[in-house]
Structure 1
Amino acid sequence: MIEKKYIDMEGVFSGSRIVNIYLPDDYNERRKKYPVLYMFDGHNLFFDEEAAFGKSWGMKEYLENNDVQLIVVGIQCSFEGNGRMSEYSPYDLNYCGEFIQGKGDAYLDWMINVIKPMIDSEYRTKPDKKNTLIGGSSMGGLMATYAGIKYSDVFSKCACLSPAFELCHEQLMADVLASESQRGTKFFMSIGSTELEQTNKIVDFTSYMLELCHILQSKGANCYPRLIPGGEHNEASWEKQVPAFIEYLL
């Protein structure tokens, strides 16, 4: 079942956001506690009619049909101008000739210090690092990667689908190299072959993804890099990867 909350951004960012919270069907019949997966672009996860492009990840059906014992917290993104780019970027960017102020750290601080305590207080969660996951696609995939690197004391399992590494690979690599131990952290990283139209882009991206995974593993993390033949940059393609990253991370 899905519960909806309307969360005020409390001055960090403008307006309020819808948060979709998936609870296992037997949540109200049991007293057990559950791990929690926090996801970006929460409007795209569960219902086609809410998804930005009319197609969701179909996560509700997958979780229900496979009795996955997991709470999923999907937070809606900003729809104001380049607000999503700004919130989902850990670094300042020059994007298509326009300056984007990276507010990713402020956004993650809000997630960690406002959203997570609220979820942990109102639902039966396992709040420790081992049972706190984070995931997203595109800019959300970049943020999930960054969160696992910089906030590994909070998030231990990261689903990073089609991450926008090309926008900031040098900054991200510097943060990976400077990071402390990643022992106990897991990263699922994937990219679709058709997202990278030119052969050299496929080579460049996969080489970078493998290098990133190699460094993370040298610091104690477990990584699952994946090139998806025919994979595209859309929800229909990401839906097909839900079983793989859920099984790997859990």
Structure 2
Amino acid sequence: MQSEAFEKAREIRIWVPFSYTETKESYPVIYLFDGQFDALFDMTTGISDYMSQTGLASEYIIVGVKTEDRPKEFTPTFLNPKTGANWKDKGDVGNAKLLEIHLQKEVFPFVEKQYRTTPFRVAIGHSLGGTFLLNTILDQPSFFKSIIAISPNITYDFEQLVTRFSEFTDKNKVLNKTIYISTGTAERLEEVFKPSTIKLDSVLKNADLKGLNYRFEVLEGLNHSETPIVSISKGMNQISKIWNLSEVQQEHFLKDTSDTFINHLKAFYKNKSRWAGYDIIPSADEANGFGYFVFHEGDANLGLEIIDWALKLYPNNVNLYDSKGEMLEAQEKFKEASVYYKKALDKLETKKEEYDEENYNYYKAIYLKNLERVNK
């Protein structure tokens, strides 16, 4: 894309999860900085794909933001004149505002126009990329709801971020964000960065900030190149603790007789919406999963009740009709099951153009087999 902020062409790279082409739902977005590094981009998409397919995290669109001059783009304006002299061999440092403008006026609008996205943005940055992300919390708090700052350089500008975060926490009592920060212990860079990062951790850990989901980890024995390998999955897992409903939480809802399971679910999403700042409902797959969870726990009627709730949210979702058919069949309500298997086939036919031929034929064969079985 042509960037007015940088007065030149800039590149981003975009990866979408497998299900993106099979649904009309919107997806949260991970913005990965240093997107020009193929190995980092491929590792991040691979980890995200694995965690979503195993139920450990949500599915994300991933945008790799390519960087041409890391010291210039990732560092905030320096406050101490000595910093300019200390970094003179790195070129024109302290111009993070250019990247902020590029994101705000060019990258975000492009991604959100071209792709089906939710307002929930996550950012991942390593080294100076992590420095940039931590700075956005103070400079541009609306940019990202969650950040994963891996081995950030907090020493920059005589620990500017430690000072500014200390001032921020003195004046503010609410910070609705997830922040994951890591540092290694091996070799020179981590040995240099670690003490300043621990100072920042002390500030954040001791601050009484409501809404903050925060974790700091010292990764023993890992060097600067190794910390991303561990931190990306750990950071995404930290986000999932507040963003996704775990099986343990579902079990708690099922056992808690103070309210119904569905009301507990609705309360969870209401609180999540309040934290995120926009209305959130479970995806069709999530709602389907809740239905099967209670169904397999032995409450078939509750499972059907949840599927009915999901169908009100997603009346055109093919899989939900099939799921209701399966639950009815398991209760030996074959006539009713037949109705919903037939509805699944009918919905599939109306949405045929949304599937490639292989997947369409695959699902059609399954639904036909289900229908034939209950009609015997």
Question: Which category of TM-score, normalised to the shorter sequence, fits these structures?
Answer: 0.7 to 0.9
Structure with bigger helix share is: 2
Aligned to 1:42: 35
Aligned to 2:45: 60
Backbone CA RMSD of aligned residues:
2.4
| Structure 1 residues 60-209: aligned runs within 5 Å | 60-67=45-52, 68-78=58-68, 83-92=69-78, 93-94=83-84, 95-98=86-89, 100-127=92-119, 131-179=120-168, 180-196=172-188, 201=192, 204-209=195-200
Greater relative CO, 1 or 2 (CA 8 Å, sep 6+): 1
Aligned amino acid, residue 124 of structure 1? R
SS in 2 for 1:31: coil
- Residues 143 and 203 of structure 1: is their aligned pair in 2 closer, same or farther, counting only changes over 3 Å? closer
- Residues 195 and 189 of structure 1: is their aligned pair in 2 closer, same or farther, counting only changes over 3 Å? farther
Distance, in Å, in 2 between the alignment partners of 1:159 and 1:210 is 14
- What do the CA deviations read for 1:24-74 (whole angstroms, capped 9, x no partner)? 111011111111111210122xx33xx6xxxx6612222222324111111
Matched, 1:9 2:21: no
User: After TM superposition, which residue ranges in structure 1, 4 or more long, deviate above 4 angstroms?
Assistant: 195-199
Aligned to 2:238: 248
SS in 2 for 1:245: helix
Distance, in Å, in 2 between the alignment partners of 1:159 and 1:188 is 5
Distance, in Å, in 1 between the alignment partners of 2:166 and 2:199 is 13
Return 5+ residue gaps in structure 1 as ranges: 1-6
Deviation, 1:205, is 3.0
Matched, 1:218 2:208: yes
> Kindly, what percent of the aligned residue pairs are identical?
19
Return 5+ residue gaps in structure 2 as ranges: 53-57, 241-376
162-171 or 132-141: which moved more? 162-171
Structure with bigger strand share is: 1
The size of the alignment, in residue pairs, is: 225
SS in 2 for 1:143: helix
Distance, in Å, in 2 between the alignment partners of 1:182 and 1:113 is 27
Distance, in Å, in 2 between the alignment partners of 1:112 and 1:34 is 19
Aligned to 2:244: none
- Residues 185 and 162 of structure 1: is their aligned pair in 2 closer, same or farther, counting only changes over 3 Å? same
Deviation, 1:237, is 3.3
Deviation, 1:96, is 4.6
- Give the alignment partner of residue 229 of structure 1, picking from 220, 227, 243: 220
Deviation, 1:228, is 0.4
- Residues 229 and 132 of structure 1: is their aligned pair in 2 closer, same or farther, counting only changes over 3 Å? same
Distance, in Å, in 1 between the alignment partners of 2:209 and 2:158 is 19
The two structures have a TM-score, normalised by structure 1, of 0.80
- Residues 62 and 204 of structure 1: is their aligned pair in 2 closer, same or farther, counting only changes over 3 Å? closer
- Residues 214 and 150 of structure 1: is their aligned pair in 2 closer, same or farther, counting only changes over 3 Å? farther
Aligned amino acid, residue 207 of structure 1? I
